[in-house]
Amino acid sequence: MAKQRVAVLTVLSALLLFSFAAFAQEEPAWKHGEVSVQGTGFFTKDSNGNGISQHATDTGGVLIGYRYHFDRWLAAEANYGYDRNAQQNFTSGGPFNVQANVHQATAALVVTLPGSYRVNPYVLAGAGALVFDPTNNAGQSVPGALRQAEAAFVYGGGADFTLVKHVALRAEYRGFVYNRPDFQLAALNSNVTAHTAQPSAGLVFRF
């Protein structure tokens, strides 16, 4: 009888250890960090306000991010983006142009949707800032135009397509909602809300 008890306890202990080992092996599948590098577009909708029409030329840039997965469904991320030489065109009794580089810094919560091992769709929402930095290139600015930061709400979604164990392809869309920049010039203040669409694609490196 004693031998039988020892055998049962041995089997139960082995099963318990196996369960812990299996859990430890499963955890990194969803609890991990990742770094992403994406090429982006930057497309801003035209607007009108205070008698000022405003148009921004389409441009592109790069988006670098870090995302950490707390569990299978929830993650947090921080991103930095740079878009080059977006031309802000103002019409108010005459044309005014301000060429500016755009920097973005955002943080967001990410919810992973049901998918598969190969395809992982997600949605995101968060906040941050867009910084409009005039280039001051000859003929591409208005005297007195200064760097300006605007608070922004960001939302979006996308999907990761696993290529190999630690590398995935990401296709994503982000939308930004913020106050239209006036470069701290009252004469260019249209006092309207702007919307910028930022589609992107790139690589994700998991660790």
pLDDT digits (tens, 9 = 90+) for 18-42: 333 333 344 445 568 999 999 999 9
Instruction: Tell me the Cα Rg of the chain.
Output: 25
State if pTM tops 0.85. no
For 12, the enclosing helix (H) or strand (E) is: helix 2-26
Q: What is the mean pLDDT of the chain?
A: 86
Q: What pLDDT sits at residue 22? A: 38
**What region does 172 belong to: left with phi over 0, alpha with psi -120 to 50, or beta?**
beta
Q: C-alpha 132: how far from its chain's center?
A: 18
Q: Which residues does residue 199 pair with via DSSP β-bridges, in sequence order?
A: 173
Taking residue 138's Cβ as centre, other Cβ atoms within 10 Å add up to 6
The alpha carbon dihedral of 114, 177, 169, 22 has a sign of negative
pLDDT for res 30: 59
Phi, psi of 184 (to 5 degrees): 60, 30
131 pLDDT higher than 70: yes
What distance in Å separates the CA atoms of residue 10 and residue 81, rounded to the nearest whole number? 56
* Nearest residue to 166 via CA among 13, 20, 28: 28
Q: Which amino acid is at 17?
A: L
Query: Taking 80 as the threshold, does the pLDDT of residue 14 lie above it?
Result: no
Q: What's the pLDDT tens digit per position in 70-117?
A: 998 999 999 999 998 888 888 876 678 899 999 999 999 999 999 888
Cα dihedral angle (162, 30, 123, 175), rounded to 10 degrees?
Answer: -70
- CA neighbor of 104 nearest in space, from 150, 58, 136: 150
Q: Which two tokens stand for residue 27?
A: 């955890």
